[in-house]
Structure 1
Amino acid sequence: MTDGSPIGDVVARMRQRADELPPELARRRFFLETYLRTTQAVGRAIDQGLFEDPAWVEVWDVKFAELYLRAHDADLVTRAAEGSDVPRPWRLAFDASPELPALAHVLLGINAHVNYDLPQALLAVIGDDDFLDPQLMDKRRRDHERIDTVLAERVAAEDGELAATGPRSLIDRVLTPLNRLASRRFLRESRQKVWHNTVELQQARVQGSYEKRLGELEVLSAAKVADLLRPGQVLLRLAVTGFGVTLPPP
């Protein structure tokens, strides 16, 4: 990954957003910097040949990041004016209390981004004709699942980054190994649900009901973010209830 590559460019845009965060929104840096490092890791994985179609993964990853940047920028505008173009999952994540620990802010951002944005990003780079080609779709699905390899390798490193943000309670320190296992589990679980939701949204796109179904996904994703805002050990609860959301039949 070079600075002039599409992923290098989107990383630079993330870094600019982090540098320009106003002091009262400093809590937003926890997710933003985690996401920046993860995007860099995806870029390295592309360079190392992890994916079957690296050019497609690169375009997809940039589309995915742009949905987050759009929500981030829209929220900054909204704070200075009336009205809101910020999707509900992101609105809840952005408005979370600054008193929450860094891990909570990271999980809120990941949840909003994966559950709500990721199916949209996949549909942006998979055309309707592509869905009629089983071999191509199998390849797309396998590359979609390979992202978990990158994310799983980041869990321990990101845990170390979060540990450096401040002291942790005794129970958080004791539960760290279990939390890492739970992280890997809910990554796999949520990715399977994302693929299901992508297929549901594509069918809606063909049938002319895409906006309605996307609205349903927005409601489900916002409800999951709201659930994460409840008190308690979030990762342990996610290990039981799951991280993702599932669109029901239309």
Structure 2
Amino acid sequence: MEALLAPLEADRDPARFFLGTYLRTTRAVGVALARGRFEDPAWVTAWDVDFARFYLDALEAYRTSPDAVADPWRLAFGARPGLPPEAHVLLGMNAHINYDLPQSLIAVIPAEHFGSPSLLDRRRRDHERIDDVLAARVGEEDVALQRVGGRRTPLDRLLAPVNRGASRVFLRESRRKVWASTHALHAARTEGAAAYAVRLADLEAVSAERVADLLRPGPVLVRLALHGFGVTLD
């Protein structure tokens, strides 16, 4: 992440905003691991690395061939550079959580583990504990984004506590939907590679629709309140 961030900053590439946030969040997860915040730290470490791989692969692929990445990332990376930093972060978070996270959970939770309710519950609880790490970062990330050009009107400053509270609600809501999407992908993989490919294409489509919705002009928080942050597979 550090190696990728330096050239993005040198090029003034807006992708630097999400990558900077992700780097700081990854360090915070490392601290939480060291402090024993998770039930299975070895699994969380492996999952954290695997999850980041989806984003980093997409970022590097987009810089050489934009059409080679999945639609949620193509839309997020291709957003207008003049958008405020927090908008680029929101788009990256949306693509990464809604589209990449269920795939990563499928990769690090073997099919047979879905047959063990107690083990699956441990995975779910550690998955939800990441929310605590993210929620604790909201205030500091708000300040960090202001330093790199985030726009704050007097009304924004007045509503900051509301926006931070809303961010925590949206994160919890998306995590619940991600867990449901993970079960849907697992059910598909038990049917075979073809069924999994179809379900993954469904996830790509609804995730891209959510990113596209966030790109429309108008108040983003209102649309998030109406439609949610996460996506649901029918």
Instruction: Compute the TM-score of the two structures, normalised by the length of structure 2.
Output: 0.95
- RMSD (Å) for aligned C-alpha atoms: 1.3
Which amino acid in structure 2 is aligned with residue 215 of structure 1? A
1:71 and 2:58 are equivalent in the alignment: yes
Which one of the candidate residues 228, 233, 236 is aligned to 2:214? Answer: 228
Partner Cα distance (1:100, 1:211) in 2:
34
User: Which residue does 1:7 correspond to in 2?
Assistant: none
The answer to whether 1:205 aligns with 2:189 is: yes
**Under a length normalisation based on structure 1, what TM-score does the superposition of the two structures give?**
0.89
Aligned residue identity for 2:199 = R
Within 2, Cα distance between the matches of 1:119 and 1:49?
24
- Secondary structure of the residue aligned to 1:26 is coil
Alignment of 1:111-126 (within 5 A): 111-126=94-109
Which residue is 2:70 aligned to?
Answer: 87
Query: 2:162 pairs with 178, 183, 199, which one?
Result: 178
Number of positions where the alignment pairs a residue of Structure 1 with one of Structure 2: 231
**Deviation (angstroms), 1:23:** 5.2
1:109 Cα deviation (Å)?
0.2
1:240 is aligned, of 217, 226, 230, to 226
Supply the distance in 2 between the matched residues of 1:200 and 1:212 (Cα, whole angstroms): 11
* Residues 159-198 of structure 1 aligned to structure 2 (within 5 Å): 159-166=142-149, 167-198=151-182
Deviations 1:125-164 (CA, angstroms, capped at 9, x unpaired): 0000000011000100000011001001000110111111
Question: Counterpart of 1:4?
Answer: none
**Stretches (4+) displaced over 4 A:** 22-25
Q: Give structure 2 stretches of 5+ with no counterpart.
A: none
* Gap regions ≥5 residues in structure 1: 1-13
Asked whether the 8 Å contact 2:72–2:208 carries over to 1, the reply is: yes
8 Å CA contact retained: 2:9, 2:16: no
Deviation at 1:20, TM superposition (A): 1.9
Deviation at 1:25, TM superposition (A): 5.4
Q: Pick one of 12, 26, 32 that aligns with 2:19.
A: 32
Higher fraction of helix: 2
1:150 is the counterpart of 2:143: no
Whether 2:54 is the aligned partner of 1:54: answer no
Cα offsets for 1:74-95 (capped at 9, x unmatched): 101105xxxx220100000000
Please state how far the C-alpha of 1:165 moved relative to its aligned partner: 2.0
In 1, Cα distance between equivalents of 2:221 and 2:146: 16
Alignment partners' CA distance in 2, 1:100 and 1:192: 29
1:26 Cα offset (Å): 1.7
Rounded to whole Å, the distance in 2 between the matches of 1:44 and 1:125 is 21
